[in-house]
Amino acid sequence: MNKYIINRNKDNKGYNEVHITSCPFKPESYNQVELGYFSNAIEAVKHAKLLGYNADGCFYCCKEAHKG
Ligand SMILES: [Zn+2]
């Protein structure tokens, strides 16, 4: 299980990017919202969408959930 966070800010494509907490490309802490622990990025992105985010996985740490 990894702990996932989501960027409060949308990227230039309008997505809130989901990251694991060890990702070097995660947003500054004041721009992070904790999603919690998930077994994979697809589950984390699904959860973020339920919360109302336009979520997409980070290209580097959540590649299996990266679409944008
Ligand atoms: Zn990342």
| pLDDT score of 4 | 98
Which tokens belong to 19? 């990251």
Distance 66 CA to ligand 1 centre (A): 10
Distance 52 CA to ligand 1 centre (A): 20
b/e map 22-37, b = 16+ CB within 10 Å: ebeebbeeeebeebee
Q: Taking the model in full, what pTM does it have?
A: 0.95
Distance 63 CA to ligand 1 centre (A): 9
pLDDT digits (tens, 9 = 90+) for 1-55: 999 999 999 999 999 999 999 999 999 999 999 999 999 999 999 999 999 999 9
Kindly indicate the confidence band of residue 68, based on its pLDDT and cuts at 50, 70 and 90: confident
Which tokens belong to 63? 């590649």
Q: How many domains does the chain have?
A: 1
Neighbours of ion ligand 1 (CB under 5 A): 19, 23, 25, 58, 60-61
- Domain hosting 40: range is 2-65
